[in-house]
Amino acid sequence: MAAALIPALAPDQLHLLRLPQGERVASAQEEVHQAVRQSFLQGAVGLECGDWLLRLPDLRDLQNLLQRHGLELRRVHSLCPGTLVAAAALGLDHGGSLPVNRASGKAATSAGVDPLTVHRGTLRSGDHLHVEGSVLLLGDVNPGARISAEGHVLVWGRLRGMAHAGCGGDRSARIVALQLRPLQLRIADAVARGPEERPPAGLAEEALLVDGTIRIDPASPSWPLPQ
C-alpha cells in the first residue's frame, strides 16, 4: 500500500500526504514517489509521518522529490521525535500527529475503540479516499470514486461509487450510507455488485457480511459509532 495523497478541500489548506502505517514494504521515498507520480495536485503539502523515523537526508530527499512534482513540503506531522527534530532542522513547520489521527494511536486501537476520520466534501470520479481506521464522509461518493477503510465506512450522503470496508480483513466492518446505491461493495475479501433497482428514498441502509456474502439491510438505529 502506497502513501496516500489527499487533496486539500480549500485552496488555502495543505494537501495531506500520509505515509502508510504498520508493515513497511518500501522506503518512505518510494512510498511518496508512488503517491505523487500520477497526481495532479500542486501546491503546499503537509506530511503525516506517523511513527516513521525520517532523518534529515530522508526529509530533504522527500522535499526535492515533491518539488519535482510541483508540490512544496510545508509541514511535518510525526509521532517520532527524531523526525520532528529533522523537520525543525530543515526549518519546516512541524508538530505532533494531526488531531483526527491522535485518537488513532496504538493505545486507542488496543483498547478496542475504533479510530474515526471525518472527511468533509464529495468524492468525485477518480478520487480515492483511504483511511486506516473507520471513515465518516460528510458528502457523496460519486460514480467512479472510491472510499476505503480498515474499519467501517460511513457515508452521510449518497454512495454511488465503490466502497471497501475492512480493507485489512476485518469481516465485521460495515458500510452505511444515507442512500446506498454503489457500483460495487467490498467488505474484507467479499465483493458484491450494487443493487440494480433504486433504493427506497429516505431510508438509510447498511451493508454487512453474513455467512461470507454481503447483505443490505435498513441501517440499524443502534449503529455502534466508533468513539
Partner 1 sequence: MTSTSPRIILICSGKGGVGKTTLTANLGIALARLGERTAVLDADFGLRNLDLLLGLENRIVYTAQEVLAGTCRLEQALVKHKLQPNLSLLPAGNPRMLEWLTPEDMKKIVALLAERSDYVLIDCPAGIEDGFRNAAAAAREAIVITTPEVSAVRDADRVIGLLNVQGIQPVQLVLNRVRPRMVASQEMLSVEDVTDILALPLLGLVVEDEQVIVSTNRGEPLTLQSAPSPAGQAYLNVAQRLRGEDLPIVDPSKEPTGLRARLKRILTKRLF
User: Where along the sequence are the contacts to partner 1 (CB under 8 A)?
Assistant: 7-8, 10-11, 40-42, 122, 124-127, 140, 142-144, 160
* Contact call for residues 129 and 110 (beta carbons, < 8 A): no
The gap from C-alpha 153 to its chain's centroid, in whole angstroms, comes to: 10
User: Residue 40 or residue 223: which is nearer to partner 1 going by CB?
Assistant: 40
Nearest to 40 by CA among 77, 88, 6: 6
Instruction: Fill in the DSSP letter of residue 141.
Output: B
User: Residue 8 or residue 100: which is nearer to partner 1 going by CB?
Assistant: 8
Q: Tell me how far, at minimum, the Cβ of 42 lies from partner 1, in Å.
A: 8
How far is residue 137's CA from residue 116's CA, in Å, rounded to a whole number?
10
Q: Tell me how far, at minimum, the Cβ of 126 lies from partner 1, in Å.
A: 4
Q: Tell me how far, at minimum, the Cβ of 171 lies from partner 1, in Å.
A: 31
How far is residue 100's CA from residue 129's CA, in Å, rounded to a whole number?
15
* Contact call for residues 133 and 151 (beta carbons, < 8 A): yes
Q: Tell me how far, at minimum, the Cβ of 160 lies from partner 1, in Å.
A: 7
Q: Tell me how far, at minimum, the Cβ of 166 lies from partner 1, in Å.
A: 26
User: Residue 105 or residue 143: which is nearer to partner 1 going by CB?
Assistant: 143
Nearest to 120 by CA among 9, 6, 3: 9
Nearest to 219 by CA among 165, 180, 184, 168: 180
Q: Tell me how far, at minimum, the Cβ of 9 lies from partner 1, in Å.
A: 8
Phi, psi of 170 (to 5 degrees): -75, 105
The gap from C-alpha 216 to its chain's centroid, in whole angstroms, comes to: 24
Cell numbers representing residue 179 in the block: 442512500
User: Residue 13 or residue 213: which is nearer to partner 1 going by CB?
Assistant: 13
Name the burial class of residue 49, with classes exposed (0-12), middle (13-18) and buried (19+) by CB atoms within 10 angstroms of its CB: buried
User: Residue 144 or residue 195: which is nearer to partner 1 going by CB?
Assistant: 144
Q: Tell me how far, at minimum, the Cβ of 16 lies from partner 1, in Å.
A: 13
User: Residue 74 or residue 124: which is nearer to partner 1 going by CB?
Assistant: 124
User: Residue 109 or residue 122: which is nearer to partner 1 going by CB?
Assistant: 122
